[in-house]
Structure 1
């Protein structure tokens, strides 16, 4: 009994760790996006991600229990090439590019809050293309969150020199939608080939396109020297490319096994709050009472949205059986 409780505790720690890792994406990206131009940074990120995920695959494929979920073979069916390229170029490349561009106009706090709206956007795309439905409680949570986002957009915003807040919000919204639009397709590929294998090929597709862009636009790859000259920037790039884009999946898988997918997924609702707190502590972004309230309400709304998913249809089903 104590062992199960201990495993559950470790599972929750792992789930919250994933929320922290993904929640600080904006904070980690901010210094890098200020040092290197966005297109070049996208290329650097996914080259790093390919290297990191290749190393992770090398070790995980030797474990039967891990390879079952993460993937044990690099063989991909030809019919899935286009799907992988689509997920990579839009779900990863466009997501990162727009995210980096937004950080030139808004703070990591605002960036993290919009990125935290992934569950809503994912369900909306599911409603449009996969016949998903939101119940009344979920609609209420969505409306509350939408009002909070509006309040944040017109309220106090971290000032970025030369930045345009409206353009920043447009960029980060495009980033969030790029990831959300490919969510169901990415999930199907992960189920078929394993999460690490499917993500590795997506990263390879972005890196390959990046090479074309580098040549076509004559991007200045010597900017890597800016990163290499700073131990902090090196650590941030490695963490962005390998930690956020690779290692976090292993931690999340462990949490799934210990506390279940639903509970582990709920922990991700902490992402906007994590991003806000870390941005204030590390980047010196402004701590505003109204913004703190807004972020807290969004976290609660995200929790309610996830908690009551599909609850209403289940009640109706029981009534019909009775």
Structure 2
């Protein structure tokens, strides 16, 4: 096997592993909710267990990147995007999972590339091609098919869950759009670590201001799930995905990303006994096709 081919295969394997691990997050959050834990508590545990890793990584990479070109204003923006992209997006996501199936959460959250296109169009005046516009319409048609069927099955709480997941997609997309000019200055690893540390601190403050219970009296299963969410559904996949994109490029990774909703549906069926109707599976397929078109077209135009 040639060196370039071997590198590509390794990149694909790393990407698939990262996507599957990311997809497990919603399933583990739903499992934690079975023990009557609230949103901010499980989010706190995720950040508490993640925090030391990001501190170490931030220290290791503190002298890397274009340090001379980084201003105090840039650090202010890191704080803003850390709050928007990882604290708010995570909080809305975890809150939405109180009311929605894990498999549907992943399908709705998967629309964030279309939100990036729309935000770029509105605020940065970047054009949207006819193919991209058609793909966006196709994506939201898939959401309507998958989501509308669930309302008739699970009731009106589905609307609330869907609302929170859409907010999560919008805030995460805002982070991607707004932070694009900062990443070249800091470097991907350094910027991600700094943004995650800001997010951790925001969650700590949120918990301190709003929670009156005892974080030390939860069932041991909740702590175990919090640890697994932090390490195996947050820290490890974030770097696996970065390594994969570096090895196979973002266009090829966009194709792999379509495995996200599929792996969540499979994991949710195994561990949560969730079942999607044939119509919902059709909706999921439509969403995946739409996002693949948007992602591949966007990457080719760069």
TM-score, structure 1 normalization = 0.82
1:53 aligned partner: 54
2:30 aligned partner: 30
Q: Is the 8 A contact 1:50 1:200 kept in 2?
A: no
1:164 aligned partner: 157
Within 2, Cα distance between the matches of 1:18 and 1:210? 24
| Residue 104 of structure 1, aligned match among 89, 94, 98 | 98
Within 2, Cα distance between the matches of 1:250 and 1:215? 30
| Residue 246 of structure 1, aligned match among 235, 241, 246 | 235
Residue 79 (structure 2) pairs with residue 85 (structure 1): yes
CA RMSD between the two structures: 2.8
Q: Is the 8 A contact 2:96 2:161 kept in 1?
A: yes
1:143 deviates by 0.8
Paired residues for 1:231-310 under 5 Å: 233-309=222-298
1:206 aligned partner: 199
Q: Secondary structure at the match of 1:286?
A: coil
1:117 aligned partner: 111
Residue 224 to residue 293, structure 1, CA distance change in 2 (3 Å): farther
Residue 164 to residue 184, structure 1, CA distance change in 2 (3 Å): same
1:3 aligned partner: 3
Paired residues for 1:61-72 under 5 Å: 61=61
Structure 2 residue runs without a partner (length 5+): none
TM-score, structure 2 normalization = 0.87
Residue 18 (structure 2) pairs with residue 18 (structure 1): yes
Aligned residues: 300
- Which structure has the larger Rg over C-alpha atoms? 1
Runs of 4+ in 1 over 6 A off after TM superposition: none
Structure 1 residue runs without a partner (length 5+): 315-322
Residue 133 to residue 219, structure 1, CA distance change in 2 (3 Å): farther
Q: Is the 8 A contact 2:142 2:282 kept in 1?
A: no
Within 2, Cα distance between the matches of 1:200 and 1:210? 15
Q: Secondary structure at the match of 1:155?
A: helix
Within 1, Cα distance between the matches of 2:90 and 2:202? 14
